[in-house]
A and B are shown apart, each in its own frame.
Chain A
Amino acid sequence: MGGMDKICKSREEGGLGGIINVRQFNLALLEKWIWRLKMERGLWREVLESKYGGWRGLKEQRDNNSKVSLWWRDLRKVWRFEAWGRKFEDRLNLEVENGREVMFWSDNWIDSEDLKSRFPRLFSLSVNKEANLCDCGIWGNGTWE
Chain B
Amino acid sequence: MFAWEEEQESQLLEMISNKRLEMETVDKWVWKDSESTKFSVKSAYGFLRGEGSEEDSRRYNFLWKIKALPSA
- A residues within 8 Å of B by Cβ? 8, 10, 17-18, 20-21, 24-25, 27-29, 31-32, 35, 38-39, 83-84, 86, 91-102, 110-111, 115, 119, 121-122, 125, 133-134, 139, 142-144
| Complex: A21 Cα to B15 Cα, angstroms | 44
Given contacts A21-B49, A31-B39, A121-B8, A97 and B21 within 8 Å (CB-CB): yes
Number of B interface residues in the complex (CB < 8 A) = 39
In contact, B41 and A28 (Cβ under 8 angstroms): yes
Q: How far is the CB of B71 from chain A (nearest CB, A)?
A: 8
Prevailing SS type, chain A contact patch: mixed
Check if B28 is an interface residue, CB within 8 A of chain A: yes
9 contacts across the A-B interface (CB closer than 8 A): A18-B59, A24-B48, A25-B45, A32-B41, A83-B48, A83-B50, A96-B19, A122-B8, A133-B21
| Complex: A39 Cα to B27 Cα, angstroms | 11
| Complex: A25 Cα to B45 Cα, angstroms | 6
Listed residue (B19, B21, B31) with the most chain A CB atoms within 10 angstroms of its CB = B21
- B residues within 8 Å of A by Cβ? 1, 4-5, 8-9, 11-13, 15-17, 19-33, 39, 41, 44-45, 47-50, 59-60, 62-63, 71
| Complex: A119 Cα to B5 Cα, angstroms | 9
A98's contact among B8, B26, B47, by CB below 8 Å, is which? Answer: B26
| Complex: A17 Cα to B59 Cα, angstroms | 8
Complex interface: chain B residues within 8 A of A20 (CB): 60, 63
Q: How far is the CB of A119 from chain B (nearest CB, A)?
A: 5
| Complex: A27 Cα to B5 Cα, angstroms | 43
